[in-house]
Amino acid sequence: MLRIGSLQLDGPLVMAPMAGTTNLPFRIIARKCGASLVMTEMVSAKGLVLRHKKTLDFLSSDPDERPLGVQIFGSDPAVMAEAAAMAEESGADLIDINMGCPVRKVLKTGAGGSLMRDPHLVEKIVSRIRRSCALPLTAKVRTGFSPQEDSFADVLRALEAGGADAVTVHARYVLQGFSGLADWTRIAQAKSTVTMPVIGNGDVTGSIMAADMMNSTGCDGVMIGRAAASNPWVFSALDPFNTSSCDISAAERRRAVIYEHCILLKKYMDSRRVGFFMRGVLLRYTKGLTASTAFRNSISSLKTPEELMEAADRYLSSLKGAN
Ligand SMILES: Cc1cc2nc3c(=O)[nH]c(=O)nc-3n(C[C@H](O)[C@H](O)[C@H](O)COP(=O)(O)O)c2cc1C
């Protein structure tokens, strides 16, 4: 079983942080579907330290989602350490450092993927956080900034030297963004470079692939992002020990999760934005289902949660026995 510092997880499959997607309702759903650890999206360390209301909102959590990792981004060791301490205070179970974000605005500040160019700064940030926060500490890295600037092994060693408890490797260069295929051989390289647990990430869409990644790279856990956004069941299907929902059909399970997700959105999200989030969730979850194109087109003009729920109700009832 995957253990990160003092945190014992109940399975090897971890949900990836995804900006705009991994909000509290989605994290509760992912956890229920079998993710052993869920993560906030990347949260600005500076925004936390300056007590920006919108940034502080990212720390809201619920016992149903735990264990929860809070991912922070920044490049100033003191600010990162203070932000980590604030996340600990707010009830996080783990701190993760974003070292892979390829967005220009973030790179320009020396944060996110820029850290893949500076092993020395990485060690400073990690050791500074280590001194101010007792939680398990991880980093989510890429395989280097670019093929021309590849400090992957040095960064991994810097993380370990600074006192990190585990590392997640998204097996692409920062400059690749999401293009090309993830190069899983770099995950195997991480395993042979450090002794801390390595979580592999990149392009996993199902159980066979996750097992494949673990077998071919020796990684200790697998992080799943995009596939889980439209199919959080990917975690339960992958977990051979989770048989709790095997007695009901896939269609019933899908319906139950869609309803639950919509209800959680109403409970937790700003009432002015519930409709926006709900439409996104319905679009993601119904991709590829019977007659879903007509349904997906039909909800594009609907705005209120009530209208959207009603339309979802009609569509999902029409699926009885299908899918
Ligand atoms: C919409 C979107 C938002 C993302 N936001 C973050 C983020 O906030 N922090 C982070 O470390 N990675 C972020 N990622 C990257 C994912 O965590 C993950 O590393 C990447 O999607 C590769 O995994 P996958 O192939 O399983 O999707 C994001 C990815 C997507 C698609």
Q: Which residue has the tokens 């149903």?
A: 64
Residue 237: per-residue pLDDT: 57
**% of the chain residues with pLDDT over 70:** 94
Asked if pLDDT for residue 123 goes beyond 90, the answer is yes
Residue 226 CA: which ligand 1 atom is closest? 27
pLDDT at residue number 233: 83
Q: Whose alpha carbon is nearest atom 18 of ligand 1?
A: 225
The predicted pLDDT at position 321 comes to 56
pLDDT tens by residue, 5-47: 999 999 999 999 999 999 999 999 999 988 999 999 999 999 9
Distance in Å, CA 194 to ligand 1 centroid? 23
The secondary element (H helix, E strand) that includes residue 248 is none
The reply to whether ligand 1 has any atom less than 6 angstroms from the CB of 142 is: no
The contacts found for 17-24 with CB under 8 angstroms, 24 or more apart, are 17/41, 17/42, 17/69, 17/71, 17/96, 17/98, 17/140, 17/225, 18/225, 18/226, 18/229, 21/229, 23/268, 23/269, 23/277, 24/60, 24/61, 24/62, 24/65, 24/264, 24/268
Both tokens of 315, joined, read 């569509």
Active-site positions read 101
* Contact residues for 276 (Cβ-Cβ < 8 A; gap 6+): none
Cα of 238 vs centre of ligand 1, distance in Å, is 19
Q: Is the CB of 18 under 6 A from ligand 1?
A: yes
User: What's the confidence (pLDDT) of residue 109?
Assistant: 98
Its pTM stands at 0.92
Q: Is the pLDDT at 157 greater than 50, yes or no? A: yes
Q: Ligand 1 pocket test: which of 142, 226, 230 has the largest number of ligand atoms within 8 Å of its C-beta? A: 226
Distance from the alpha carbon of residue 67 to the mean position of ligand 1, in angstroms? 19
| 211-239 per-position pLDDT tens digit | 999 999 999 999 999 999 988 888 875 44
